[in-house]
Amino acid sequence: VLSARLGIKPSAPLRLAADEMFDGVLQIPKGSVNPFVMAQASCDEVTLLLDHKFLQCEQLLFHPMQSDFTTALGPDQLTAFLERAAPGRHAYVDLSSDAKIDVAPGPLPPAAPECKLEAKPESVKPSESQQQQGQQQEQQQQQQQEGGGTAKADYADWHAPPWPERNVFFAHRAWLQRCGV
């Protein structure tokens, strides 16, 4: 029924995503798919459909890019995140209805500005904000080395992932902060 509502021939298999989509587009392992993937540039052509009943829930629980953590959001927070991260590429639909679901392509990303190369001055002194950013990055790296982050050695003896691991905590936290969550 859902495939017909989406305009897909009934004999075509309807799944969350084809296997090759997980690594290439969603950039997340099977079992860890969540709405937060919509903030990745690789998902610019993905449309997320969520059941409209999500809007009636007090809290929604999602794994934040890995299945060993859980994030609780209110429906308004999830909607604010999606409007910021995936404008025009998400929709709440009544999955129990028989009405046709029109999945229109989302807005095209803005064109990149033209790059004009100019001659560089011989000595460029970093600005104060650039110096502060560099110091913050050094502090984060130092914290991770001192045990502030998860060191690979902590779990290397029992865990061998089938895909390259990426530390997504800081990116996830930044997405939530940008959306006011």
pLDDT digits (tens, 9 = 90+) for 46-92: 888 899 999 999 999 988 877 778 889 999 999 999 999 899 999 99
| Residues 84-105: b if buried by 16+ CB within 10 A, e if exposed | ebbeebbebbeeeeeeebeeee
pTM of the model: 0.53
Residue 152 domain-assigned (yes or no): no
Residue 175 domain-assigned (yes or no): yes
Residue 75 domain-assigned (yes or no): yes
Identify residue 123 by its one-letter amino acid code: S
Q: Using the structure block, give the residue that is written with the tokens 């998860």.
A: 150
Q: Using the structure block, give the residue that is written with the tokens 């110096």.
A: 131
Is 92:60 a contact under the CB 8 Å cutoff? no
Could you tell me which residue, 15 or 95, shows the higher pLDDT? Answer: 95
Residues contacting residue 134 through CB under 8 Å, at least 6 positions apart = 126
Residue 143 domain-assigned (yes or no): no
Looking at every residue in the chain, the average pLDDT score rounds to 73
Residue 7 domain-assigned (yes or no): yes
Q: Percent of the chain scored above 90 by pLDDT?
A: 15
Residue 116 domain-assigned (yes or no): no
Q: How far is CA 107 from CA 45, 84, 152, in A?
A: 9, 13, 39
Could you tell me which residue, 132 or 95, shows the higher pLDDT? Answer: 95
Count CA within 13 A, CB hemisphere, residue 146.
6
Number of structural domains found in the chain: 1
Its domain, for residue 92, covers 1-105+165-181
Residue 45 domain-assigned (yes or no): yes
Residue 101 domain-assigned (yes or no): yes
Q: Using the structure block, give the residue that is written with the tokens 């997980």.
A: 22
